[in-house]
Every structure is written in structure tokens, then in C-alpha cells.
Structure 1
Amino acid sequence: MTALPTSRAVAVIGSGAMGSGIAQVAAAAGYTVKLFDTRPEAVAKAIAGVIGMFNKLVEKERMSAADAAAAGARLQAAVTLADVADAGLVVEAIVENLDAKRALFTELETIVGDDCILATNTSSISVTAIGAPLRLPQRLAGMHFFNPVPLMALVEVVSGLATDAAVAATVFDTAAVWGKSPVHAKSTPGFIVNRVARPFYAEGWRLLNEQAADAATIDAVLREAGGFRMGPFELMDLIGHDVNFSVTQSVFQAYFNDPRFTPSVQQLELVNAGFLGRKSGRGCYPYGEGAAVPQPRCEMTQPRPAQVNFEVEPGTHGPVTEALAARLRERGIDVPLRHAPEGHASGEAPAFHCNGAAVYLTDGRTATARARDNQHADTVLFDLALDFATAKRIAVACADQCDPAAFNAVVGLFQAAGFTVTRLDDVPGLAVMRTVAMLANEAADAVHQGVCSAQAADIAMQKGVNYPRGPLAWADAVGVDHVVTVLHNLAQGYGEDRYRVSPLLRRHHASGVPIHA
């Protein structure tokens, strides 16, 4: 463990929400904290606010009165930058502007000792670029906290080209001592979270643009089937569309207009209209007193089908379809297992069959294309769920040539299993599957390009944006082979480089070795 010793002071520059949050966790961990801002009154207000937070923790019995008093006493106001001269670590949390950060760190170098570590809380600016003018750029690292700092566990420890490995290790271990879940990352656009999270929003916009469903329905599917805490549209309304669009545009431009990060024209329209989300009273949803809350779509109740079976081929009895079959059986639905007949189209099992309908887990093709390929008009696809044993909702789509009675039989089957059934228009990959596949693909590329480890990618997405499962662990759970198939079919269907398969996923697909082996 190479954490900064508690005998060394921590300086925090900037007393806004991020700076005061960083000061709170450092003081609670036993460090003397010197808080500086160009506005002395802001520092006094921030310190009072942090002490107030300690007192609230005491009221909730999450902190003792003695510990709260000691932590509050460790907070000090720095009147000038010269007051932080003895700091062992300085964390910058000022305006997100390259020139401002460079100017601050250049001045700090004339004040602090050469053994003092400099850390920037930047969420989007290159750590390499910030450190370039410094006399000792090797002592600068990114220490990217997430808001609200006291509640969010993740800290991205970001190394620029000049960052010394020992410095990054000390920042990492110090964050751990502060009760955080740190991960190492290389200084690349978006680091881990702001890069890997882009498909969560982008695929939502594409689904909406292609009229797969309305925003409320897509959000419900991602929440109640995918297990995400919030759907993409309600989350963007919370973040603010101006902020979310700006981050997407920044990552897109930083990667030289890679189509994988293409911003949404629909979101730009919201920004242009001033419909920024909750803070403006309107975004994807209306807000304010009396605002109508849009309800997600669901299918009308249908009778339970008389006949159901589960067809497999050797080697195709996958974990996802078996989990669904297990739920059907637990609900008293007999699902006899049968083997596909000789000459059956390869890849068209496992499948459920009920009242003439063939029911498949989406593989990235549309139901219409799959019905054509397997020469079975009554084809219905179902979407991925985080946990088929507990999911409340399931999304389905049917081929254009599917008989309505066959589709209704499938709806009745899933309703009998306790699902709320939502029909999406026949878009490739449906909602949860294409989102998870793209998240896994982006995480795999980050690992492949040396931005982070597979473990760090999963920790970052779970701790930084509260995903229910790390994207790469999710790919292992679904099966890397199936994820690769989904991405390949999306690329074929759209004819876009946006859905190109990460070389790392291809490698694991070829070897058959899970990502987290």
C-alpha cells in the first residue's frame, strides 16, 4: 500500500459540489484538508456544508459524534494558494478549461514541494495536455470523482503519457483509503465511463428514431428487463441534454468522427429548443406540477397457448434460453425438450414453439429477415433480460409476415410466465440486447487499446454509472459468441462501421475462452 500518509495534508482547489465532496471524503478518512477557492466566502460556505453533512451522518447513525467532530476539525480554509505549500497531494476541481487548469498547476509548482502529487478531477480534458507545460509532469495524474462524491464509489485514476507509475499507484491507494473503488485508466477521450457509456444513449436514440417505441416504453424495457436503474431518456433528462450532448460531441470529435460515437440529431433538436430535461421543465418528458407522466406500452392479455415445446440442437442449449425455459417451468408451463429434426436450418435453435410460432432470442437480425432465412413466417423474437427469473417485463417483436394469432399465442405464453409483454417494432437487436452488445463492444475496445483492464472496465461501469452488471461480465453471461453474432448482424443490417466487432471480442469468440476466464 502506497497511500499518502495521513500526516500529509491534502489540498483541494475549488469549493463547488465536486471540491467540497472531495474535501468531505478526505477529511472523513483522517486527512487534514486545506480547501481553497478564489472566493473566500465560497470556502466558508463549503466547509459549513461539509460539517453539516457530517452531522446528518451522525443523526442517521452512520458516523459517531466524535468522528464527525474530528473530521470537521480537519477542514481548514486556505486563504491563499501559498497556504497549501505543505500539502502532499493537491486535487484540482476547478472549471473544465484546459488553459485554466494549466495555469493553476503551473502556479502550484512554484508553491508545493517537488514530492507533492498533483491530481486533476477533469472528466474530459487530456491529462497529458494538462501536464505538458509543467516542470515535473510526471507527478500529475487524473483523479476523476463522480457526483455526488460522498455517494459515488468510483474514482478513475488516469495516467497521462508523462505520469509516473508510482504516482498513479499512490493516487489509486489513497482513493481506496478514502473508501472509494479506484480503477486505473489511460488518458484517452472519455477515459472509461464517459466512453463506454455512449452506446447506452446512442442505441436509445436510434430505437426512438426508428420508431421501435416511444421513450417511456424504451425506458421501461431497459429498466424492467435490462435491470438498469434508469432508462436512457429519463437519465438524459436528469443529466441535462446540453451536458449529455456536449460529452457525446466531445468524444465524437476527439475520436476523429468515429461513427460509433455519432451524436443524435434528435438530441440536438432538444438542446436547440431549450428542452434540457428536469432543470428546464421539459426534455424527453414533461416536468412540473400537473405534467402527465407517459405510460409504457404493453400488450393486452392473451390466453395461454395450448402447446409449447423447446427445440435445441447439439451445442446450442444456451444459458439465456435455458433461463427462460426454467421460468416457464416454474410457472407450471410444461416445456418439453425436443431435438431439432435432421436437416433443420443451422443456427435456428434453440427455439420455443407454441401454436405454430417459432420464438427465438434476438441475434441482431430483424424478425422479418429471420422469418425469411428460416422459411417460417410465424417468427417472433424476444429480447435479453438481466435475469429471466426475476425480470418484470420482456420485449418482443414479430416478423411482418407473422400471423396475428401466432403472435398473440407468444404474448400469452410470456404473460403466463408473469411478464409484462411489450411489443417493439421489428428493429434489429431489439432494445436490451443491442444496448448490452454495444456496451460490451466498447468496453472490449477500451481493453484492447490498453485504456484499462477488463476488470477495471466492469468496475467502472457498475460503480460509476450503476450498471446492474459489468458489460464484459454480461458478455460472458450471454456468451461472447452470441454477442459477436448480434454485432455482426447489426453491422450487416445497417451497413455501418458503427457496429464493427471489437478485435478483442473476435479473439475470445475464436478461442472460446470467456473474457473473465
Structure 2
Amino acid sequence: MTAIERSRTVAVVGAGTMGQGIAQVALLAGHRVLIYDINTALAADGVGFVQDRVERMAAKGRLDRAEAEEAIGRIAAAGDLADLAEAALVIEAVVENVTVKQTLFAALEEVVAPDALLATNTSSLSVTELAAGLAHPGRFLGLHFFNPAPLLPLVEVVSGFATDPAASELAYRTVLDWGKTPVRCADTPGFIVNRIARPFYAEAFAVYEEQGADPATIDAVLRESGGFKMGPFQLTDLIGQDVNEAVTRSVWESFFRSPKFTPSLAQRRLVQSGRLGRKTGHGWYPYGPDAEPALPHTAAPEEAPAKVTVVGDLGPAADLVDLLEEAGIAVVATAQGGPYIQLPGDGQLVLADGKTSVEFADVVYFDLASDYRGATRIALSASADTSERTLAEAIGLFQKLGKRVSVIGDVPGMIVARTVAMLIDLTADAVARGAASAEDIDTAMRLGVNYPVGPAEWHDRLGRDWAYDLLHNLDERVPGGRYAPSLALFKLGYEAGDDEGDQADEGDQADQGDQGDQDDTGENE
């Protein structure tokens, strides 16, 4: 199947920012474009805005002058819905209201040709519900562009319950022909990006609510250790706290209030206070000319140990062995026990595993990094019972590796590790339920929200048991279902050739029981 011919007309209903962006994409792909808005003045303005953007592209040499002039002549405002009769594709970008959209599409059905595709750009409403009542729901689907549409490559092609596979394929091919990167997904709450991304915000807010760290520190750790472009507190201030919370609440409600998607009370209070982010001058952070920048906690310099013992295979943190040796720290390796780094003062440095330092005699946890060589900051956590020497040695060790160190509270799973584990779990569950393929989810998360690695690829890199084991431990310490590993994640271990029973076995984490467990049931929520 080929794309919609470029000789055919594409119509956009809704002349706001999103509608203008979609119109520009279709226009520069070679189509004649019509913009319709119930407010005819807005439709005319929308055409003008698109023409101005095309003109500026030509002025900057990003578009051939002749092509620009030809494109400017191919876009026009429609004064009435009936003017859209010739459109082969109509994309709606109006207010997020089910009744408004259903009314619009019912009217469009009376106008367009039988073979025309009807698409909604909704980011949160059910494509299946919007198609209810249509005479020909098979040609209806979702085309979710990301803002700004001319710049961001991702488009979610969403099939509703009644969408004809041929219609979905035609839309997919058309979006691809426009130079975008389409991903296929079923009509599930949040589609791909808004569903899978929830833990990126939720876990950061949870660490904050648990008094684990302040927003600036959490943001810095996720950027400088996790490899994310922005921290969740920064990003939600940019998006708008009201907008971000509304999406979270919509996904939560759509999944029948699953604990996996529970909204944040701290964010609710922020919205109630009117601190919505940059647009109101204050969100998690203050904004304006007199606002003081929020700085992350960074530990003071400590002396690095001259020698350490690496016990067992450090797994996702295995690169640390080479980094330690390159930094001049002598490393003695032993295959028995672990995995952990034995410090000179008899304390242990352990990769975050969903447990807490308070459970063990003298342990410092360190957080996951997307790339330990490239990371510029590492988070450490310790309990009140961790010796000062052990914490100082742990801080000094990572500082010797050229990393800034943030010491956070004794939060199980820390920051990056619990976030990545939850992203992996939601991805495994979505794939198992037919929401999207693992490849499309990875593509969507990298292109739609700039994740450094897709969740499925993260799972492959970290090992088939890593996320399951961490969430299993977290679920024991923070019961209620939020961190209970999905059945899909459990099965992935066996499908990868795991031995029977291995995945349910916690094993001896770092042989810490040898040092005398203080309280196996102690929780620090």
C-alpha cells in the first residue's frame, strides 16, 4: 500500500498551534492544504502564520525559494465544512472534549468522500469512543503529533476498536511519506508516550514526598546520571503542572485507578496553590528576573580509598571496575559472593536493588547510571546506622572517578534505578497486552520525549532479571501494588531461558546478612 497521493488535499480542522503545525507538515510534503476553524478569522490567521513560517524558512535558506512560493499558494482557509469535500484526509485538532469532537466528525462524514480518512490528534481521549456513532468508523483513527509538529518527528498512529487495518496502514504510509516517524499503537489510555512516561514523573515525585531529596537534586541525578535531557520537575514546570497532572489523572482513571498510575499528592497541592510552572512564574521552582537558581545537593570533597575489593559481578555497574583502575584505585576482584564493592573500612558499596541501607550493618547504595563512564553525577544513599567512614569512602571513590556526588535519603530503589525499572515494567505489560511493539515503544520514547535509551533496550542491557528483582524488593517494602512486577515482566525471564525458580528468588544481596541484619522487616518509606 502506498501513501495518500500528494496531489490530494489534506484538511486540518482547528487553527490553533497544533493545527497550524500539522498543516505546515502536510503542506511542505506537497499537499494542497485547507484549514477550517469555527472562527473564520482564526482560520485565516492560521493560514497566515503557516505562510509566514514557510517564508522565513526560505529566507534562512532552509527551503528553496521557488518551492516556498509554490507552497504558500497551496494553502487556504475554508469558510465552511462543506469546503472540505475534496479532502482525502481530515485531521482534527480542536478542544479536548468528546462531545465537540463527536459532533464534528459526524458532520464531516456528511461532507467527505467515502474513501477519505478521518483522524483525531487527541492525546488523551479514546479513539474508539470518538468513533462511536459514526456510520463508517473503519476509516477513523488517531494521528497524534507532538508539539511542535514541524520539528518533532514522532507521530502515534492509533487504531480504535473499529479502525480498518487498511485505513491504519494508509495513514502510517502517509505519515512516513511526510518525513515523520510513525509508530503503531492500539487505542489504550495514554497511547504509548503518555502511558509509558508516567513513572518518569511519578517516581521523582514519590522520592520527593518520601523526603529522599529536593527537586533540584532529583532533576540533576536523572539528567547527569540517568541521561535524561530534562528532570521531571523542570519538565512539568515547562509543560504546566495542571496539564501534566491532568494527563496523569486521565491515565489513572482510564486504568480504573490502578496503583501503577496513582497521581502525586505533592503535585496536586502545587496545582491547587496556582503554582503551575513557568506560565505563572512559580511551580516546583521560582521563575523571573529575581529568582534564585535551585542548586542540587553536592557532597563536599572526601579522600578516595587507595584500594577496594570487587566481590562478584557488578552487572549493570561492571564498567566501574575499569573506571576505578583508570583512576588509580587498586582493585582486587573475587568471584565468590556479592555483588558489591568492599571498602577499606569494611563497609559495602551496593548498586540500588530496591532494598534500604537501614536493613544492613554498614552499606551505602549507589544509583543506576545509563552510562557510568559518561555520567557526571552519582547519587548515594545511606541510613543513620551507616558509619561516617563508609559514607566518606563511598563519596571519595566516585569523586575520584570525576563524578559529582549527591547523597540522598535511604529511599528503596533510589532515583534512576526505580524510574528505569518502572519504565521497563510498563513497557513489558503494554507489549504483552498488544498496545504496541517493543520496537515502537522504544522509538516513541526516544523521539517523543528524548529518553536516552528505550525501555525495552534498557531491559536487554540491564539483564532479564534486574528490573523484576528490584521491583520485587520494592513491592515488599512499599506494599500496595504500585511496584508489583507485572506478569509480563515475570515471564520475560523464563522466555529468555531463565532457570526454574530463579526469578522468584531474591538471593543474597551483597552477602549483607554476614554483617548482621539489623531488621529484615524495617521499611523506610
Whether the TM-score (by the shorter chain) exceeds 0.5 is yes
1:291: Cα distance to partner?
0.6
- Give the structure 1 partner of residue 352 of structure 2: 362
Counterparts in 2 of 1:153 and 1:513: CA distance versus 1, 3 Å: farther
Residue deviations 1:431-479 (CA, integer Å, cap 9, x gap): 0000010111111111111110111111111111111111111121111
- How far apart are the structure 2 equivalents of 1:355 and 1:475? 34
User: Does 1:329 pair with 2:319?
Assistant: no
**3-state SS in 2 of match to 1:497:** coil
**Paired AA for residue 335 in structure 1:** V
Alignment of 1:438-457 (within 5 A): 438-457=422-441
Retained in 2: the 8 A contact 1:328–1:334?
A: yes
**3-state SS in 2 of match to 1:227:** coil
1:338: Cα distance to partner?
2.1
- How far apart are the structure 1 equivalents of 2:477 and 2:97? 41
- Give the structure 2 partner of residue 307 of structure 1: 307
The ranges of structure 1 where at least 4 consecutive aligned residues each deviate by more than 4 angstroms after the TM superposition are: none
Of stretches 505-514 and 260-269 in structure 1, the one that deviates more from structure 2 is 505-514
- Give the structure 1 partner of residue 505 of structure 2: none
Retained in 1: the 8 A contact 2:7–2:30?
A: no
- Give the structure 2 partner of residue 425 of structure 1: 409
- How far apart are the structure 2 equivalents of 1:414 and 1:290? 35
1:303: Cα distance to partner?
0.9
**Paired AA for residue 362 in structure 1:** A
Gaps of 5+ in 2: 499-525
Counterparts in 2 of 1:334 and 1:187: CA distance versus 1, 3 Å: same
**Paired AA for residue 306 in structure 1:** A
Residue deviations 1:112-151 (CA, integer Å, cap 9, x gap): 1100010010111111111111110000000011111111
Alignment of 1:194-205 (within 5 A): 194-205=194-205
1:224: Cα distance to partner?
0.6
**3-state SS in 1 of match to 2:413:** coil
**3-state SS in 2 of match to 1:504:** helix
Alignment of 1:92-171 (within 5 A): 92-171=92-171
Residue deviations 1:155-193 (CA, integer Å, cap 9, x gap): 111111100000000111111111111111111111111
Gaps of 5+ in 1: 372-376
- Give the structure 1 partner of residue 16 of structure 2: 16
User: Does 1:39 pair with 2:10?
Assistant: no
**Paired AA for residue 295 in structure 2:** Q
**3-state SS in 1 of match to 2:76:** strand
1:352: Cα distance to partner?
4.5
Retained in 2: the 8 A contact 1:308–1:355?
A: no
**Paired AA for residue 433 in structure 1:** A
1:152: Cα distance to partner?
1.2
- Give the structure 1 partner of residue 284 of structure 2: 284
1:19: Cα distance to partner?
0.4
Alignment of 1:331-480 (within 5 A): 331-340=327-336, 344=337, 348-369=338-359, 371=360, 377-480=361-464
Retained in 1: the 8 A contact 2:307–2:329?
A: no
TM-score normalized with structure 2 length: 0.93
Of stretches 472-481 and 80-89 in structure 1, the one that deviates more from structure 2 is 472-481
Residue deviations 1:234-290 (CA, integer Å, cap 9, x gap): 111111111111111111111111111111111111111101000001110001111
**3-state SS in 1 of match to 2:379:** strand
1:337: Cα distance to partner?
1.8
- How far apart are the structure 1 equivalents of 2:325 and 2:180? 42
Retained in 2: the 8 A contact 1:24–1:150?
A: yes
- How far apart are the structure 1 equivalents of 2:366 and 2:272? 36
RMSD: 1.4
Retained in 1: the 8 A contact 2:383–2:409?
A: no
1:353: Cα distance to partner?
3.3
1:311: Cα distance to partner?
1.5
Counterparts in 2 of 1:290 and 1:190: CA distance versus 1, 3 Å: same
Retained in 1: the 8 A contact 2:358–2:385?
A: yes
Residue deviations 1:360-409 (CA, integer Å, cap 9, x gap): 1111111222x2xxxxx221111011111111000011233211011101
Retained in 1: the 8 A contact 2:189–2:251?
A: yes
Q: How much identity, in percent, do the aligned residues show?
A: 46
- How far apart are the structure 1 equivalents of 2:57 and 2:325? 47
Residue deviations 1:311-360 (CA, integer Å, cap 9, x gap): 11xxx452x221122222233333232232xxx4xxx3143534322111
**Paired AA for residue 91 in structure 2:** V
- How far apart are the structure 2 equivalents of 1:402 and 1:490? 20
Residues paired across the two proteins, number: 498
**Paired AA for residue 459 in structure 2:** A
- How far apart are the structure 2 equivalents of 1:235 and 1:121? 22
- How far apart are the structure 1 equivalents of 2:62 and 2:347? 55
Residue deviations 1:209-252 (CA, integer Å, cap 9, x gap): 01111000000000110011111111111111111111111111
**Paired AA for residue 217 in structure 2:** T
**3-state SS in 1 of match to 2:330:** coil
**Paired AA for residue 487 in structure 1:** L
**Paired AA for residue 355 in structure 2:** R
- How far apart are the structure 1 equivalents of 2:71 and 2:34? 12
- How far apart are the structure 2 equivalents of 1:259 and 1:512? 28
Residue deviations 1:94-126 (CA, integer Å, cap 9, x gap): 111111111111111111110001001011111
- Give the structure 2 partner of residue 374 of structure 1: none
